[in-house]
Amino acid sequence: MKVQSVAVSVGVGVGIALLGGCGHDSVSSSSPAMAKGAGFIQSFQIVSSAPAFGGATPAGAAGPYQVISAVVHGELDPNDPLNAGIVNLKNAPVGSDGYVAYTTDVVILRPQNASAAKRVLFYDVVNRGSKIGAASFVGGGALDTGAAPSSSFPSLLRNGYTILWSGWQGDVPLAGNSTTSGAGLLGASFPVATNKDGTPMTGLSREEFIPDYAGGPPTTIPLTYPPANLSDKSSVTFTARQSWLTAYGSIPGGLETYTAPSQPVTTWSYVSTPNNVYEGNYSVTFTPPATVPGPNGTQVAPDAGTIYSFVYQAAAPTVDGIGFAALRDLVSFLRYDTADAQGVANPLNDLKNAGCAATTCSTSTNFDIAIGEGISQSGRFMKDFLYQGFNVDKHGKIVFDGMFPIISAARRTWTNAAFAQPGRWSKQHEDHFMPGFQFPFTYATTTDPVSGATDGILKACTATNTCPKIMQLDGAFEWWGGAASLVVTDGRGNDIQLPSNVRYYLVAGTQHGGGSGVTTGNMTVPAAGSQCQLPGSPVEETPVERALIPALVAWVGKGTPPPASQYPTVAAGTLVAPTQATVGFPSLTNVMVPSGAAATPTSLQLTFNGEYNQLFVTDYSNAVPVVNTAQAYTILVPKVDANGNETSGVLVPDVAAPLATYTGWNYRGAGHAIGDGCISNGAAIPFAVNAAAQAGGTDTRTTLATLYGGSRSKYQAAVAAAANALVSQGYLLQDDATNVFIANASAVSATLLPQP
């Protein structure tokens, strides 16, 4: 969609440099923007601007908000050193000025009036185009017409922050319209890398497909990139397997390697699918083999968990690394420039007159503090942005003063590469051998004892003096499924010291992203045929994140010390090898647990197999990874107590006052590649109501009667005490203590705790 460049006035004086204001230094507001340099914003096209939340003011905010949808047309110099690391940028088409053009969607949520604003920009990295951080940190409904954040939700809008989102992922299409202010995805349009004769580049690419996640037929694989030659089958390798483990079905299960037992898939064909969401507009339809290698050397029929790997000669790779530079130049433009190259005013110019967020404020910039935050894929993108040297702009200035990668573990992304697939991420079963999970894993520059390489996430920003203050937060799943121990240990299992500008937090007992919270406490044992063997972990994680954001802003702006890091260590004996004996996980091979709303005692047989996401030095220079199983990284996990709950990290009330064992792992059920890790799920294994209900099994864990005397009020008091303790330590806001954890505890079921 082509949109016209329109200057829209928002609140008071958008586009006008308003000088003065309490606490500001007297500094010229001249803009350095018009020097093209490494990159510049050719046009910032506002496609819609309207009162947010239908005109309602968010509870606790100083005034109403405005939501702006825009399309940014940017350009990059392929010969500038700041862009030298962008793969294939020099193979992208250039304009008459020698620059490479791109386009991204942008959404800004800002106070309508600068008098109600703070000079803080909070950038929430979209996840596959979705503004997922909005639910966690903004609250309310859709930004344009949804309900405003309520008084019970501690929204960032109470603080007067400006929130920013932008497209960065090359395989999420550009929207180019106002739908991005609502539920619409934010995408991008990046050029295709071409040969000197103008034809699209080609190369081997690999797709992975598991029927459990099929968006369409379970025998059709959508391709990210089109085949280079529809008639060429000689370059294709197509295999099926149940697991990447060499001894699948055994305990331990052997090594995870790309050469694990598999079966060829011989019957397949390309089909045109022009309406799919992938760039390739082609898919592969196939007939599964009759059998695949199964547990313990058996042959079994393929099922919903079977892993299909398709390697083929692809064409037309997009230059996805532009996503990093596009973010760099967008934030720099909004902070330092008064107008785009067309003379259209910066929509944040009036924030020069907003309230200071730092010890001193300069009116030469539109805000004092820029925070970059991302959840899951978005957090990995944030770390990769920093690692690859994009936190310095063309003026040599810092882009993000603070960063908050959430549930990223030890991973980064598969973005800045030919034939990249940024949505992929390595797990124990799914996408295990996809790039983005290689050294360096930690922030300080270290020498890897496994590979011998020397590197660190902060290496590039250290060289340019543009390192931000960083908080990283992970849950229990990230330690089992994402090798999070490598953030705080070397590759041989030794503790390492984090740099002074980094804090790290584990939230115990959580699955990926946390759950919706423990309320009634009733859990249901999954029926036969379910994807996971165990109920998912409901343990909340997001309230801890909400408490840490204002702490990060205060740390960046005023040097206020943040809450101390909280994670297990080898020295403390809380970080151990992932075996049942060392972890201390209780035997649950024959137990009775309460299931369903009636808490019916139900038999459960769980065999702890210690599966985690193994990691080896791996060569990803070609589509088929080469795994060196002789160079293994030591992965450690948190130790648990006699009830199976973790003892280190931030223990939210769900874990500090438990109704169950909460884990960061779960296992796949029958019909879904049984025994391998179940996606990114954790698990909840309920405690028996009392000794009588526990009878018939061999459960050594406590009972609810022992913990709380069967009393709901005693349980609720324990939850309240745990919540209030976290408030006093800075890991929880009082609003969340009251309205999340204490409120949830009031709903606990009388079938679990029958006494008042």
Among the ranges given (32-46, 129-143, 322-336, 339-353), the one the predictor scored with the smallest mean pLDDT: 32-46
Instruction: State the pLDDT at residue 20.
Output: 29
Residue 746 CB neighbours (<10 A): 10
What would the mean pLDDT of 654-674 be, rounded to a whole number?
99
Instruction: State the pLDDT at residue 273.
Output: 87
Report which of residues 255 and 6 the model is more confident about.
Answer: 255
What would the mean pLDDT of 399-414 be, rounded to a whole number?
99
Q: Is the pLDDT of residue 342 over 80?
A: yes
CA gap 393, 412 in Å, rounded: 21
Enumerate residues 6+ apart whose C-beta is below 8 A from 504: 471, 472, 473, 474, 487, 488, 498, 565, 566, 567
CA gap 404, 506 in Å, rounded: 13
Report CA Rg, the chain: 26
Beta-bridge mates of residue 422: none
Q: What is the pTM of this model?
A: 0.94
CA gap 6, 206 in Å, rounded: 43
The structure tokens listed for 234 are 């000689």
CA gap 385, 100 in Å, rounded: 20
CA-wise closest residue to 478 among 564, 410, 542, 543: 410
Instruction: State the pLDDT at residue 23.
Output: 35
Compute the mean pLDDT over every residue in the chain, rounded to the nearest whole number.
94
Q: Is the pLDDT of residue 3 over 60?
A: no
Q: Is the pLDDT of residue 17 over 70?
A: no
Q: Is the pLDDT of residue 719 over 80?
A: yes
Q: Is the pLDDT of residue 35 over 90?
A: no
Helix (H, G, I), strand (E, B) or coil at 238: strand
Among the ranges given (9-18, 40-49, 331-340, 702-711), the one the predictor scored with the smallest mean pLDDT: 9-18
Q: Is the pLDDT of residue 226 over 70?
A: yes
For 138-164, what is each residue's pLDDT tens digit?
A: 999 999 999 999 999 999 999 999 999
- Exposed / middle / buried, residue 185 (Cβ in 10 Å: 0-12, 13-18, 19+): buried
CA-wise closest residue to 509 among 404, 637, 668, 362: 637
Q: Is the pLDDT of residue 729 over 70?
A: yes
Q: Is the pLDDT of residue 22 over 50?
A: no
What would the mean pLDDT of 645-667 be, rounded to a whole number?
99
Instruction: State the pLDDT at residue 31.
Output: 42
CA-wise closest residue to 202 among 623, 626, 625: 623
For 695-714, what is each residue's pLDDT tens digit?
A: 988 999 999 999 999 999 99
Domain ranges, ordered by start, for the chain: 24-192+320-392, 202-315, 426-710
For 357-392, what is each residue's pLDDT tens digit?
A: 999 988 899 999 999 999 999 999 999 999 999 999
Q: β-pairing, 202-209 with 307-315? A: antiparallel
Contact 566, 548 (CB under 8 A): no
Instruction: State the pLDDT at residue 30.
Output: 38
Among the ranges given (280-289, 382-391, 556-565, 665-674), the one the predictor scored with the smallest mean pLDDT: 280-289
Instruction: State the pLDDT at residue 363.
Output: 86
What would the mean pLDDT of 675-694 be, rounded to a whole number?
98
What would the mean pLDDT of 224-238 be, rounded to a whole number?
95
Output helix, strand, coil percentages for the chain, rounded to the nearest 5: 20, 25, 55
Instruction: State the pLDDT at residue 215.
Output: 84
Instruction: State the pLDDT at residue 216.
Output: 85
Among the ranges given (18-32, 608-622, 638-652), the one the predictor scored with the smallest mean pLDDT: 18-32
Contact 156, 122 (CB under 8 A): yes
At 177, the pLDDT band (50, 70, 90 cuts) reads: very high
Q: β-pairing, 637-638 with 575-576? A: antiparallel
For 591-639, what is each residue's pLDDT tens digit?
A: 999 999 999 999 999 999 999 999 999 999 999 999 999 999 999 999 9
Instruction: State the pLDDT at residue 696.
Output: 87
Instruction: State the pLDDT at residue 32.
Output: 42
Instruction: State the pLDDT at residue 276.
Output: 63
118 DSSP assignment: B
Instruction: State the pLDDT at residue 507.
Output: 99
Q: Is the pLDDT of residue 55 over 60?
A: yes
Q: Is the pLDDT of residue 34 over 60?
A: no
Report which of residues 497 and 29 the model is more confident about.
Answer: 497
Instruction: State the pLDDT at residue 279.
Output: 54
Instruction: State the pLDDT at residue 604.
Output: 96
Contact 76, 322 (CB under 8 A): yes
Q: Is the pLDDT of residue 278 over 80?
A: no
97 DSSP assignment: T
Contact 193, 418 (CB under 8 A): yes
Q: Is the pLDDT of residue 7 over 50?
A: no
- Give exposure, 150-176, as e/b (b: 16+ Cβ within 10 Å): eeebbbbbbbbbbbbbbbbbbbbbbbb
